[in-house]
Structure 1
């Protein structure tokens, strides 16, 4: 399960571009907490702390406890907007969740036992189609990643969601098809070599026929 993170925040009384610009000049990022059948709560958080948590790589699929006004709110990050030039966070959205709230999140995939895949041992390449899986689970059961074992896969094989064992209580958000996660393909050099070999064999057969 992903780590639980904590952000200290302060409420903000005013919205609008002017108030938001002033907050950013002071090293703060305007944000909003919504959902949970409650009114939206306008807050602002420290930019440095938000950036530190974003750099963990697990921020968007982790429960974030927001401490504000003497209360702690359990949330899930839903969106972080960045400045188009400076690449700094300029706004964040958080969804209120309870322990048993079901959420849809993108979870990264991790491939293991590549040395046991015949296709990779013969020089094939693991072509990753989906680096993340869209999953549905309770907020407190979001996995850090999904491990996929490639043992036994050969060149030309595809790895589908049906090959993956998901943790208990976790389901794929896509249920109408057995979608592809990765394939094992032959490298260009190998394809070219195979093609040349076929051509040579064809010419040899032709020569023998003429003889």
Structure 2
């Protein structure tokens, strides 16, 4: 169920001051919750965390948190980043187990941009969505939702209802009848369109 693992240590002290002290030692404060168990404070070595997060798959795959006295399996639920440094300040993990169905935002990857009919004809690509919330068993969570735009022409668009997803995966917006636009090909704006005349503005 998991291809990722990282060492973690229990953390007893909470709050801003203990967290700052922890970061000065090269550790990142985090919390593990869910599965009807008490929330557990933990810390992870920043160096190991950077290596883990460098792989995009880690954001949608089950991760084994290896404690000195046991293991927990979890998904990344939230990451708080430093305002201007590439530095993780805090992380939230949610406990999961085999067979459980979960909801998670996964990225959308657009395929065959180089051969897209509409782009080759001079159209402009508009990515309306970069990610989408899905529901799936933890062992079927996709790394990304792939959208093939090879045959998309100028003036056309694709919506969520037109996207193929892996077996067992549900697109949450469609459950609420929210058929969002995913991608479209626009005609390039001409100078006349870009600069509205005074008469048109009135």
1:11 offset after TM fit, Å? Answer: 0.8
How far apart, in 2, do the equivalents of 1:163 and 1:126 lie?
A: 18
Q: Which residue of 1 aligns with 2:170?
A: 171
1:117 offset after TM fit, Å? Answer: 3.6
Note the aligned Cα RMSD (angstroms). 2.2
Unaligned segments of structure 1, at least 5 residues: 196-211
TM alignment of 1:138-157, pairs within 5 A: 138-157=137-156
Q: Which residue of 2 aligns with 1:4?
A: 3
Q: Which residue of 2 aligns with 1:74?
A: 73
Q: Once the two structures are superposed, what CA deviation does each residue of 1:128-150 show, in whole Å capped at 9, x if it has no partner? A: 11011211111121111222122
Q: Once the two structures are superposed, what CA deviation does each residue of 1:26-49 show, in whole Å capped at 9, x if it has no partner? A: 101111111111111111110111
Is 1:180 the counterpart of 2:181? The answer is yes
- Pick closer, same or farther for the CA change 1:122–1:24 going to 2, 3 Å: same
> Which entry has the higher C-alpha Rg, 1 or 2?
1
SS in 1 for 2:173: coil
TM-score, length of structure 1 as denominator length: 0.83
- Pick closer, same or farther for the CA change 1:26–1:128 going to 2, 3 Å: same
Q: Which residue of 2 aligns with 1:207?
A: none
SS in 1 for 2:21: helix
TM-score, length of structure 2 as denominator length: 0.86
Q: Once the two structures are superposed, what CA deviation does each residue of 1:66-109 show, in whole Å capped at 9, x if it has no partner? A: 01132110100111112224341121110001122222222222
How far apart, in 1, do the equivalents of 2:191 and 2:15 lie?
A: 60
Is 1:31 the counterpart of 2:30? The answer is yes
How far apart, in 2, do the equivalents of 1:44 and 1:192 lie?
A: 56
Pairs aligned (count):
192
1:194 offset after TM fit, Å? Answer: 9.9
How far apart, in 2, do the equivalents of 1:124 and 1:32 lie?
A: 46
How far apart, in 1, do the equivalents of 2:114 and 2:91 lie?
A: 41
TM alignment of 1:1-211, pairs within 5 A: 4-114=3-113, 116-175=115-174, 176-188=177-189, 191-192=190-191
1:24 offset after TM fit, Å? Answer: 0.8
Q: Once the two structures are superposed, what CA deviation does each residue of 1:175-203 show, in whole Å capped at 9, x if it has no partner? A: 21221001101123xx45999xxxxxxxx
